[in-house]
Each structure stands twice: as structure tokens, then as C-alpha cells.
């Protein structure tokens, strides 16, 4: 039976993919289909962990405001191993909390929360397990109380030492946060943090032009917008620039698009003098752009229409520092030629 219409387009696209790409797309589609109720983290990444002493704990903030520490990082911070029959992180932590020597110092609420890790999706689209951040402090208090009462085994002493390091670090961070809040420095700190982000992403010197946006990006955009892709021309609708700003540059890091507009002047005809990606740093900004473009194209291929694509994009790669969808029209300030 011949495949016609929309289905034929999907079949043609599938034939262009490698077996690995088709497998990865299928996995992501299945995950999205069966895990719609899993909370999504608004902020956080494995390369920006919470650093306490020698410990690095990946941390995230979920949509509902819960602060979450990644399961593996939290167990590592406590100095615990994964060995034995309880090799999985959640089982390991629950077994430790429910051990006879520690049990008298653990409340029922803490016990329940350690037995039920939070399953969530990172901003990068990966599934992960974690615990509310306050659990780490509660476990440290319980371990130190057990040590003071002489209840710990000799092989648990190293965990108590690690808990003492963590608790002292919590106290230091806490007093700094209180001083910052009382003096108003937290607002200055936020501005400095944004400045550091922009310095890391935006290059002071113009980079050489190289082909950056793959042809698949525009082919899929034409398809999702219900337009025929022009094989014999590189011209694109003017409003594609506004769409690209939204689905790409607004999602790289806070303030990046605004800074790119600021450092990319217009000529006498009102056009940008160079492409935005030429202003990205070679060590961070540009690699992040290429990584994001790969994710965007994958989501495009999974989507049947523009609304479906935006739904998944907003869920897995939300705009940085924004919560509302902005309207797009040809009368907006930027005509997209700086892209």
C-alpha cells in the first residue's frame, strides 16, 4: 500500500536518519508519552553543581519551587558507597536511614521522604532522581546526634565526619545569605552573576563566519509552519528571524539575546552588520548554541505541527528568565537578519 500525504513526508524524514538517531527519537517520544506527570526542573545542570568542601552535588529547582539535590551527588556527599545488594542509590540511602543504630534519630517524615525519591526531568530533558535539599541537612543532624549518643558503628564514623563538614558549610552559607539579604547585597550579587554569564557567552571580538545552523533546522521549520521548502533559494520569510530568536537565543542563558542585540549594530539600511552567533565565545557560547540546535532539531522531527513542537520545546528547554510566550509579528523591532 502506497504511503501518501503527511505520512509520506514522515517516512522520507525517517529514511534520512541513522539507526541510532531513530532509536534516540523513539526513546524520547516514549518517555514524553508515558511520563507526562513527571515534574520538570526550571533551573540546574550537571556542570553547575552545588559545591560544598570537596563535594559536588548537581542541584535543580522544580516547577513548583522545590529545591532538589541529585540522588547520586547527595549519596557521594555523605561519603556513602554504592556497593552490596543495595547498589541502587535510593535503596542505599533508605537502608542507611532505616538502620537500627540511626533509626531512633530519624523522624517518620524524613524516613518517608528518603524512601520515595523525586523522579523529575532536568532542563536538558533527562530523567533523574533526587531529594528535597533540606533532607541532606536533616540526615546530617541525625547522624551527628547518633554519634554523640555513641550509637554509630566504627565503619560509619567517616560518614559522621563528612556530615560535620557539610553542617559547618551550611552554617557559613546561611550567615552569608542572611547578611546579603539584610544589606541588600543579594540584588547586587544577582546583577554581578548576570554580568558573569554574559561575559562567558558573549565574545568581545567578532568571530569568523562558519556554517552554524544546519539545513535540517530550516527544512523542519518550513514543514512545521506548513510551507514548502525552497530547494533553489536561501530566502526565508522575514518572521523566521523572530521565531529563531525565541526558540534558540532566548533559551541559551539569561540576557544573552538582549546582549547580542546590543553588541550587534545595524547598518544604514537597518540590517544587522553580522550574525548573532559570530559574537558567541568559542569555548562556551558557540558550543552551547550547537548543542541546543541539535536538541531543537530532534524535537522538530518528533513533532507533527508547530504547536506540538513549541509545547515540547517549552517543557524541555524553557526560555531563560521568562515565563510568557511572546507574540511574533513582522512589525517587531528585530527583522531577524542578525541571525
- 38 near 121, Cβ under 8 Å? yes
**pLDDT tier, 322 (very low <50, low <70, confident <90, very high otherwise):** low
Look at residue 300 in the predicted model and tell me its pLDDT. Answer: 94
Look at residue 89 in the predicted model and tell me its pLDDT. Answer: 47
Percent pLDDT > 90 in the chain is 21
- 176 near 136, Cβ under 8 Å? no
Which residues, including other chains, have CB under 8 Å from residue 56's CB and lie 6 or more apart? 49, 50, 73
Q: How far is CA 71 from CA 129, 284, 324, in A?
A: 6, 27, 31
Comparing C-alpha atoms, which of 224, 294, 318, 290 is closest to residue 6?
A: 224
Residue 19 pLDDT more than 50? yes
- The tens digit of pLDDT for each residue in 117-176 reads 999 988 888 889 999 988 999 999 999 999 999 988 888 889 999 899 888 888 877 877
DSSP assignment of 268-304, as one string? TTS-BSS-GGGGB-TTTHHHHHHHHHHHHHHHHHH-S
- 223 near 256, Cβ under 8 Å? no
Q: How far is CA 317 from CA 79, 294, 296, 310, in A?
A: 33, 12, 9, 10
Task: Give the distance from CA 191 to its chain's centroid.
Answer: 21
Look at residue 45 in the predicted model and tell me its pLDDT. Answer: 83
Q: Distance between CA 35 and CA 140 in Å, rounded?
A: 33
Main-chain dihedrals φ then ψ at residue 269, nearest 5 degrees: -90, 0
**pLDDT tier, 272 (very low <50, low <70, confident <90, very high otherwise):** confident
Residue 12 pLDDT more than 80? no
Q: What is the mean pLDDT of residues 242-257?
A: 91
Q: In what order do the strands lie in the sheet with 41-43?
A: 41-43, 59-62, 67-70, 127-132, 118-121
Look at residue 327 in the predicted model and tell me its pLDDT. Answer: 39
- 253 near 201, Cβ under 8 Å? yes
Look at residue 337 in the predicted model and tell me its pLDDT. Answer: 35
Look up residue 295 and give its three cell numbers.
536538541
Asked which of 96-105, 135-144, 294-303 is least confident by mean pLDDT, the reply is 96-105
Look at residue 36 in the predicted model and tell me its pLDDT. Answer: 57
H or E segment to which residue 121 belongs: strand 118-121
Q: How far is CA 292 from CA 72, 96, 126, 297, in A?
A: 26, 39, 14, 9
Q: Distance between CA 106 and CA 102 in Å, rounded?
A: 7
Burial of 72 (0-12, 13-18, 19+ CB in 10 A): middle
Residue 330 pLDDT more than 50? no
User: Greater confidence, 269 or 311?
Assistant: 311
- The tens digit of pLDDT for each residue in 176-225 reads 777 777 777 667 666 666 677 777 788 877 777 788 898 899 999 999 99
Look at residue 20 in the predicted model and tell me its pLDDT. Answer: 67
Look at residue 324 in the predicted model and tell me its pLDDT. Answer: 41
Look at residue 141 in the predicted model and tell me its pLDDT. Answer: 92
Look at residue 250 in the predicted model and tell me its pLDDT. Answer: 92
- 50 near 57, Cβ under 8 Å? yes
**8-state DSSP, 332:** S
**pLDDT tier, 301 (very low <50, low <70, confident <90, very high otherwise):** very high
Q: Distance between CA 49 and CA 58 in Å, rounded?
A: 4
**pLDDT tier, 33 (very low <50, low <70, confident <90, very high otherwise):** very low
Q: What is the mean pLDDT of the chain?
A: 79
Amino acid at each position: 500500500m502506497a504511503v501518501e500525504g503527511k505520512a509520506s513526508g514522515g517516512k522520507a524524514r525517517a529514511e534520512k536518519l541513522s539507526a541510532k538517531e531513530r532509536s534516540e527519537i523513539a526513546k524520547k517520544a516514549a518517555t514524553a508519552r508515558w511520563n507526562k506527570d513527571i515534574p520538570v526542573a526550571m533551573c540546574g545542570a550537571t556542570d553547575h553543581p552545588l559545591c560544598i568542601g570537596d563535594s559536588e552535588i548537581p542541584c535543580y529547582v522544580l516547577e513548583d519551587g522545590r529545591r532538589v539535590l541529585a540522588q547520586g551527588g547527595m549519596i557521594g556527599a555523605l561519603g556513602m558507597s554504592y556497593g552490596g545488594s543495595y547498589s541502587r542509590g535510593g535503596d542505599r540511602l533508605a537502608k542507611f536511614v532505616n538502620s537500627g543504630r540511626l533509626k531512633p534519630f530519624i523522624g517518620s517524615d524524613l524516613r518517608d521522604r528518603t524512601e520515595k525519591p523525586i523522579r523529575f526531568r532536568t532542563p536538558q530533558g533527562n530523567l533523574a532522581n533526587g531529594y528535597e535539599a533540606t533532607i541532606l541537612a536533616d540526615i546530617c543532624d541525625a547522624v551527628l546526634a547518633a554519634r554523640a549518643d555513641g550509637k554509630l558503628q566504627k565503619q560509619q564514623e567517616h560518614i559522621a565526619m563528612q556530615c560535620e563538614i557539610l553542617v559547618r558549610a551550611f552554617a557559613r552559607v546561611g550567615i552569608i545569605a542572611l547578611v546579603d539579604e539584610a544589606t541588600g547585597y543579594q540584588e547586587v550579587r544577582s546583577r554581578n552573576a548576570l554580568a558573569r554569564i554574559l561575559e562567558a557567552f558573549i565574545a568581545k571580538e567578532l568571530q569568523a563566519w562558519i556554517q552554524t545552523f544546519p539545513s535540517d533546522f530550516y527544512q523542519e521549520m518550513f514543514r512545521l509552519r506548513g510551507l514548502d521548502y525552497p530547494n533553489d533559494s536561501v530566502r526565508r520569510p522575514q518572521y523566521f528571524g523572530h521565531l529563531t530568536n525565541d526558540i534558540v537565543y532566548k533559551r541559551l542563558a539569561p540576557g544573552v539575546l538582549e546582549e547580542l542585540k546590543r553588541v550587534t549594530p545595524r547598518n544604514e539600511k537597518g540590517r544587522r552588520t553580522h550574525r548573532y552567533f559570530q559574537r558567541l565565545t568559542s569555548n562556551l557560547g558557540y558550543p552551547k548554541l550547537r548543542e541546543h540546535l541539535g536538541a531543537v532539531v530532534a524535537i522538530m522531527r518528533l513533532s507533527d505541527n508547530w504547536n506540538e513542537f513549541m509545547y515540547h520545546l517549552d517543557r524541555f528547554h524553557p526560555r531563560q528568565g521568562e515565563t510568557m510566550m511572546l507574540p511574533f509579528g513582522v512589525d517587531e523591532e528585530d527583522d531577524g537578519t542578525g541571525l
